[in-house]
Amino acid sequence: MSKLKVATCSLAGCFGCHMSILDLDERLFTLVDLVEFDRSPITDVKQIGYCDVGIIEGGVANAENVHVLREFRAHCKILISMGACAITGGVPAMRNRFTLKECLEESYISGAGLVDAQIPNDPEIPLLLSQVHPIHEVVKIDYFLPGCPPSADAIWTFLTQLLSGQPIALSYTQLHYD
């Protein structure tokens, strides 16, 4: 059997979920026997090719997040929303109770020690959405794996079940939102 191709990325997240993947420790060796990593912070591959599974960490906070997420959806047969931020917007979504104006002015205008304070307008910098959203509000998601981050055990259970075509059944301690 040829190896399944897996891509991962972090949108508006903290890389904690990816750290948790690294936490698989020696199980990573088993994993790389089963799958080949395509675009991922783990491989440092920047362009995504066609994949079987895409794993997204983080919510959608800016225009670039939307582009990357759409790329993943277009290239992956199965797309997984991993972690609290991808699933609920998470901690970044705590800015949703403020207007974008308030957020930007707080960081770029009224913050301490700023010289020539202004809101950045460089086209290289992706524009922020007015609110942070979970990724399933932008593209179709096939599976959700909650946790902040999901534990390595939960990730392992999830991936082994998914790769072997079983239904996903996390144990009680593997299912949590924090």
Partner 1 sequence: MSGEPSFTLDDQPVPFQDGQTIMEAARVAGVYIPHLCFNPDFAPHGSCRVCLVKVNGRPQAACTTPAVAGQVVQSEIEELQEIRRGILEMMFVEGNHICPACEKSGACQLQAVAYYVGMLAPRFTYFYPQRTLDASHPDAVIDFNRCILCELCVRASRDIDGKNVFAVQNRGLKAHLVINTPSGKLGATTFSITDKAAQVCPTGAILIKNRGYETPIGRRLYDRQPVNVVGDVAQVPESEGGRRHE
Partner 2 sequence: MAESSTLAQTIHDIVQRHNSVPTRLLQILREVQDSLTWLSPEAIERVADEIGLSPDKVQRVAEFYSFLYTAPRGSYDILFSDNITDRMLGNRRLLRYLCDLLGVGIGQTRADNRVSIGVTSCTGLCDQGPAALVNGYALPRLDKPRLDRIAELINSQTPLSEWPQDFFEVTSNIRRADILLGRHFADGAALRAVLKRGSQAILEELIKSGLRGQGGAGYKLALKWISCHDAPGEVKYVVCNADEGEPGTFKDRVLMQEYADLVFEGMTLCGRVIGARQGFVYLRGEYRYLLDSLKATLQRRREIGLLGQSILGESGFDFDIDIHLGAGAYVCGEESALIESLEGKHGVPRIRPPFPTTHGYLNKPTVVNNVETFAVTAKIATEGGAWFASRGTAESKGTKLLSVSGDCERPGIYEYPFGVTVRRVLEDCGARDAQGIQMAGPAGHTISPKQYDRRICFDDLATGGSFMVFAKHRDILDGMRNFAHFFVHESCGFCTPCRVGTSLMRDLVDKVHTGHGARADLDEMRRLGRIMKAASHCGLGQTAPNSVLDSLDQFPEAWERRLRSTSYEPAFDLDAALSEARRLSGRDDPGAHLPDEQSDLVRLAKLLADQDAPMSDDERNLLGALP
Nearer Cβ to partner 2 (93/152): 93
Question: Could you give the CA distance from residue 51 to residue 76 in angstroms, rounded to a whole number?
Answer: 5
Residue 167 makes contact with partner 2 by CB under 8 A: no
Counting Cβ atoms within 10 Å, is residue 128 exposed (0-12), middle (13-18) or buried (19+)? middle
Among 6, 7, 66, 84, binds partner 1 (CB under 8 A): 84
Which amino acid would we find at residue 22? Answer: L
Q: Where are the beta strands (DSSP E) in 58-170?
A: 60-62, 76-82, 128-133, 143-145
Among 30-38, 63-71, 121-129, 134-142, the segment contacting partner 1 (CB under 8 A): 134-142
Name the nearest CA neighbour of 83 among 169, 10, 166, 142: 10
Q: Smaller CB distance to partner 2: residue 120 or 168?
A: 120
> Looking up tokens 């299912």, which residue turns up?
175
- Choose one: 6-14, 28-36, 39-47, 73-81; the region binding partner 2 (CB under 8 A): 73-81
By CB under 8 A, name the one of 88, 154, 157, 162 that touches partner 1. Answer: 88
Q: How far is the CB of 130 from partner 2 (least distance, A)?
A: 5
- Which of partner 2, partner 1, none does 129 bind, CB closer than 5 to 8 A by kind? partner 2
